[in-house]
Amino acid sequence: MNSYLAHPVRRVAGTVAVPGDKSISHRSLMLSGIAEGTSDVSGFLASEDCLASLRAMRSLGVDIERPAETRVIVRGVGLRGLKPALHALDMGNAGTAMRLFTGLLSAQHFDSQLIGDESLMRRPMERVAKPLREMGAQVHTRDGTPPVDIKAAERLHGIDYLLPVASAQVKSAILLAGLYAEGPTKVRAPAVSRDHTERMLRSFGVRLEGDDMAVCVHPPQRLQSQRLTVPGDFSSAAFFIVAALLGASGGALMIENVGLNPTRTGLLDILRSMGADIEVLNLRSSGAEPVGDLQIRESALRGIEVPAALVPLAIDEFPVLFIAAACASGETLVSGAQELRVKESDRIAVMSAGLGALGVRHSTLPDGMRIEGRGEGPVFDGGEVQSGGDHRVAMSFCVASVRARAPIVIRDVANVATSFPGFAARARQIGLDVRNCG
């Protein structure tokens, strides 16, 4: 049952919620684990990626209870209370877990080793190892990729580091190490990236200064335990947003309780400039994060040139944006998105192969893609596509079924469970016809 069969449908509508935010769920475990006192996290994303973080925290001596699927109670051990794991920590498919844990563990008085699945073992880790070494940590990669070996740290010292890429994972790893450093640690960025770590650190009582482009952490005495509610993941909502834009057929789709942190919602800006009708309702705060409900109506999209500044703010949404672009009238150009080459798969290459198999005219660039949109009516031929083991690619091609002429078979979809457990059932709830098949 490692494939999806997605039959064409013509009407996407109703009301749906999406599971908790993946980025925030990882961070909630790490910060609660090193806080003092008991933290209570609801809305936790019980996906493979976040469960890898949960198991890692337990292996490091943190007591975590799960009274319900999406609720975790974390008994924090304090900044200096983590214990060495008895074995290598397996991060599965989770790049966020591997990079953030590298930062956190590089400051501990014990050795650690981080490993992952086949995809994660190919992903670049020097981007975190290098700044951490500048702080005095001993972090080793194997020719730039995992396993990541971390030796017990002497005292780290604060640095002033300019990120070569706008990566929230690298920024966060440095900030986590900075909690343990002598003196403040400053991270400057070439562009804005998601700021969940900064928001959550502040709610745990850590002093941070600066803005979106430069943030400085002052090492705290302690982190204070919290009660946290994780909002729905905007990146999961993205698949349903695009499905409704392509096929709400006079109705509307409502997605409730979606995290709307402005460092995550670049896709909304991009889609709106393509002509999308998306309304934010009930905008409110959920702790440190903005949350709202989204109402989406079918819209005739126009191709655009995606502004470079929006790329990091929509970094996980390009696979599904490519599907939207194929259904727009005119050409869409994405550039400055070379990071897509080093995600869970090479998302430019894997999406290109799938778009090609479904008859979409496009060309790839080293850092993006040019897509010739077909406008109205069915756009995608039926056929078979490979997800490359990439959850977001798999879900994106399910969305294509809203504008397909014939069924689409999507291969290698088990990794959807890394970010969106229960995706097919929720997709069917709003009118998609997606089923698991052999």
Beta strands in 306-386 (DSSP E): 329-334, 362-365, 368-374, 383-386
Give 110's contacts (C-beta < 8 A, 6+ positions apart): 82, 83, 84, 152
**Shortest distance (Å) from residue 194 CB to ligand S3P:** 6
**Shortest distance (Å) from residue 26 CB to ligand S3P:** 6
**Shortest distance (Å) from residue 298 CB to ligand S3P:** 28
Enumerate the β-bridge partners of residue 385.
410
Active-site residues: which are they? 316
Nearer to ligand S3P, 114 or 360 (CB): 114
Stretch in the footprint of ligand S3P (CB under 6 A) among 33-41, 162-170, 363-371, 376-384: 162-170
Of 25, 172, 225, 257, the residue at the interface with ligand S3P (CB under 6 A) is 172
**Shortest distance (Å) from residue 415 CB to ligand S3P:** 13
**Shortest distance (Å) from residue 405 CB to ligand S3P:** 32
Using rule CB under 6 A, residue 123 touches ligand S3P: no
Q: How many CA atoms lie within 13 A of 296 on its CB side?
A: 34
Q: How many CA atoms lie within 13 A of 322 on its CB side?
A: 36
Of 3, 23, 32, 261, the residue at the interface with ligand S3P (CB under 6 A) is 23
Using rule CB under 6 A, residue 339 touches ligand S3P: yes
Q: Are 130 and 160 in contact (CB under 8 A)?
A: no
DSSP state of 190: S
Using rule CB under 6 A, residue 163 touches ligand S3P: no
Of 34, 120, 168, 176, the residue at the interface with ligand S3P (CB under 6 A) is 168
Say whether 417 sits in a helix, a strand or coil.
helix
- For residue 145, count other CB atoms closer than 10 A to its CB: 15
Laid out side by side, the sheet with 71-77 consists of: 63-68, 71-77, 36-42, 227-229
**Shortest distance (Å) from residue 234 CB to ligand S3P:** 11
Burial class (CB in 10 A: 0-12, 13-18, 19+), 209: exposed
Nearer to ligand S3P, 3 or 345 (CB): 345
Give 221's contacts (C-beta < 8 A, 6+ positions apart): none
Contacts 24+ apart (CB under 8 A), 375-379: 375/300, 375/327, 375/328, 375/329, 375/330, 376/300, 376/329, 377/403, 378/8, 378/403, 378/404, 378/405, 379/326, 379/327, 379/403, 379/404
Stretch in the footprint of ligand S3P (CB under 6 A) among 73-81, 164-172, 176-184, 423-431: 164-172
Beta strands in 78-137 (DSSP E): 89-90, 112-115
Q: What angle do CA 332, 334, 337 make, to 5 degrees?
A: 165
Chain residues 272-331 in contact with ligand S3P, contact rule CB under 6 A: 315-316
Nearer to ligand S3P, 111 or 339 (CB): 339
Residues 65-104: x/- map of binding to ligand S3P (CB under 6 A)?
A: -------------------------------x--------
Using rule CB under 6 A, residue 226 touches ligand S3P: no
Using rule CB under 6 A, residue 126 touches ligand S3P: no
Stretch in the footprint of ligand S3P (CB under 6 A) among 50-58, 168-176, 255-263, 281-289: 168-176
Q: Are 143 and 154 in contact (CB under 8 A)?
A: no
Nearer to ligand S3P, 343 or 362 (CB): 343
Using rule CB under 6 A, residue 401 touches ligand S3P: no
Which amino acid is it at 346?
A: D
Using rule CB under 6 A, residue 119 touches ligand S3P: no
Residues at the site binding ligand S3P, with contacts judged by CB under 6 A: 23, 96, 167-169, 172, 193-194, 315-316, 339
